[in-house]
Amino acid sequence: MFNLPEKVTMIEVGPRDGLQNEKLFVPTEIKKQFIVGLRNAGLQEMELTSFVSPKWVPQMSDAAEIVVDCLDGKTRNIVLAPNRKGIDRLYSSDCQAVAVFVGVSNSFNIKNINKTTSDCLMELKPLIRELKEKNYFVRACISTAFYCPYEGKIVESDTIKLCREFVLIGVDELSVADTIGMAAPTEAFSLFTKLKAEFPETMLTAHFHDTRKLALANILASLQAGIVRFDTSAGGLGGCPFAPGAAGNAATEDVVYMFERMGIDTGVNLAKLMDAIEVVRPHLSRQIETGYYRLHAQTI
Ligand code: HMG
Ligand code: MG
């Protein structure tokens, strides 16, 4: 029934997507311990934080300190940056990997970064070229790839067109996102099958929010379309402050559990991942349920 790879790559977005929407400020020291814990659990690629406006996203106001203290030189540490100012902040750090982000939907883009999609592209194109000349790893996060909280269903070919723009400029990776968790597995399979066929040389990553509890089903559908890279967030934290209705990301522990039970190597140790979640749990405004992973950990 299933066409299974031997292993997948998990990109941990908990410290960034997971925490950016938290109401209470998570102390910087706790964020750093969370990052170390996640790395100890085996996560080799991680979004650490964002170089965005602290007025727009106060939770990310300690980004400079996080980056200084959390780069390890061994794993891929990614920082989000939306504009020239964000990229200049990147240049003044030692971080070697950046994620730019743009929505297929204009309305979402204006709410999220105060620019239309095409203005955003105009600003990002020369920045990406410059980043590639300087040998940075560039990831492009494509928001509202399936549905927009303001515009509804997104036409699949519009998403593919935007992805094409970024591939032509030379990004290393596309992280294609179901921002508000509305995609159906059939839609996930369809889009990722087409992206995989058109962009065989580009790293393709699926980023699902779990608003309607379809993230795992969508991940499985994307796996069937040939995708082997998945953005997930420890504890299922997450959501974009400018996308009403966006719940957390697919929980790293759920995805690790599913893949490992299917015989697919994730490189992640579930018990250590649970330890990392315990670091941040007391500082969260929302409840997360992970007890069952501890309960039967010995019998898995
Ligand atoms: P703006 O107000 O239009 O910016 O915001 P501006 O250029 O007019 O500047 C206004 C002020 O912001 C100035 O400071 C700038 O210096 C400062 P002031 O003079 O008022 O003191 N500023 C910055 N400060 C720090 N870092 C920067 C920066 N840029 C300007 N990079 C802006 C435009 C893009 C800055 C703002 O809209 C913003 O920061 N947006 C961030 C939104 C965000 O972080 N969203 C969440 C991440 S995306 C996401 O979660 C989706 C994803 O997970 C995929 C999915 O699920 O869909 C990736
Ligand atoms: Mg997201």
Look at residue 293 in the predicted model and tell me its pLDDT.
Answer: 85
Ligand 1 pocket residue status of 78, Cβ below 6 Å: no
Task: Give the pLDDT score at 5.
Answer: 97
Q: Output phi, psi for 56, to 5 deg.
A: -80, -40
Rounded distance from Cα 256 to ligand 1 centre (Å): 32
Instruction: Confirm or reject: Cβ of 159 under 6 Å from ligand 1.
Output: no
- Residue 88: pLDDT over 90: yes
* pLDDT tens readout for residues 199-246: 999 999 999 999 999 999 999 999 999 999 999 999 999 998 999 878
Question: In the predicted model, what is the mean pLDDT of the chain?
Answer: 96
Q: Over the stretch 93-103, which tens digit does the pLDDT of each residue have? A: 999 999 999 99
Per the CB < 8 A criterion, the answer to whether 280 and 25 are in contact is: no
Residue 300 CB-density burial (10 A; 0-12 exposed, 13-18 middle, 19+ buried)? exposed
Cα(213) to ligand 2 centroid in Å equals 15
Give the ligand whose atoms come closest to the C-alpha of residue 174.
1
Q: What is the mean pLDDT of residues 135-153?
A: 98
Of the candidates 170, 105, 168, the one whose C-alpha atom is nearest the C-alpha of residue 142 is 105
Q: What confidence tens digit (pLDDT) does each residue in 23-38 have? A: 999 999 999 999 999 9
Note whether 79 and 67 are within 8 A (CB). Answer: yes
Q: Any residues with CB less than 8 A from the CB of 118 and at least 6 apart, and which?
A: none
Would the pLDDT of 298 be above 60? no
β partners of residue 100: 140
Mean pLDDT, to the nearest integer, of 176-193?
98
> What is the value of pTM for the model shown?
0.97
Q: Which of 243, 160, 244, 241 is nearest to 204 (CA)?
A: 160
Judge whether residue 294 has pLDDT over 80: no
For residue 193, give the nearest of 144, 156, 230, 236 by alpha carbon. Answer: 156
Measured in Å, residue 241 CA sits from the centre of ligand 1 at: 12
End-to-end Cα separation, the chain, in angstroms: 23
Which residue, judged by its Cα, is nearest atom 40 of ligand 1? 113
What's the CA gap between 57 and 26, in Å, rounded? 13
Mean pLDDT, to the nearest integer, of 136-158?
A: 98
In the prediction, which pLDDT does 300 show?
Answer: 55
Q: How confident is the model at residue 295 (pLDDT cuts 50, 70, 90)?
A: confident
Give the pair of three-digit tokens for residue 165.
């723009």
Return the pLDDT at 290: 87
Report the pLDDT averaged over residues 137-160.
Answer: 98
pLDDT of 2 > 90? The answer is: no
The residue to mutate among 52, 108, 115, having the most atoms of ligand 1 within 8 angstroms of its beta carbon, is 52
The ligand that comes nearest to the alpha carbon of residue 87 is 1
| Residue 297 pLDDT exceeds 70 | no
Return d(Cα 279, Cα 220) in angstroms, integer.
Answer: 29
